[in-house]
Amino acid sequence: MRYWLMKSEPDVFGIDDLARRPKKTEPWNGVRNYQARNFMRDDMKRGDLVLFYHSSCPQPGIAGIAKVSRNAYPDETQFDSGSEYFDPKATRENPRWVNVDVTLVRKTRLVDIQELRSHPELASMQILKRGNRLSITPVSPAEWAFVMSLIEA
């Protein structure tokens, strides 16, 4: 099993939106960064655990835990000319973008970015590195365990 952090803007799709979905499950679509796509396509597997992170909001931070509930498959939004995520170069025979399904495990207290930054144990965490813009990043087992101890505190 691997661990991940997936960022979403709560005014677009937040942890409460995931909680309201049927079976608390949603495709993580609209990713248009090749490195994040490659993480989903090549590395994420069903059962992996996810820190659901609220970004680009007044109080960014970890808002819940989810799990990958379906391995990567073509992101349908790339084929929809009415979607903001439409990609005219993508074809059904050669899709360019994928998504995974994520399922809510549970909402947590918000562990905000300042709290994460205050712990030297998390200094190597991708989300805390300057210039990190990726919406999906790996989390080490040690980082995961430490964040879980913060959530439970």
What does the pLDDT look like over 6-48, one tens digit per residue?
A: 999 999 999 999 999 999 999 999 999 999 999 999 999 999 9
Q: Residue range 108-127: average pLDDT?
A: 96
Q: Cβ distance 115 to 150 under 8 Å? A: yes
**Within 7-140, where are the H helices?**
10-13, 15-20, 34-38, 113-117
Answer yes or no: is pLDDT of 153 > 80.
no
pTM of the predicted protein model: 0.95
Q: Tens digit of pLDDT for each residue in 42-91?
A: 999 999 999 999 999 999 999 999 999 999 999 999 999 999 999 999 99
Containing domain of residue 34, as a range? 3-152
For the stretch 40-55, pLDDT in tens is 999 999 999 999 999 9
Residue 131, Cβ density class (10 Å: 0-12 exposed, 13-18 middle, ≥19 buried): exposed
Distance between CA 54 and CA 60 in Å, rounded?
5
Q: How many structural domains are present in the chain? A: 1
Give the pLDDT confidence score for residue 115 in this predicted structure.
Answer: 97
What's the CATH number where 36 sits? 3.10.590.10
Task: Give yes or no for residue 131 having a pLDDT over 90.
Answer: no
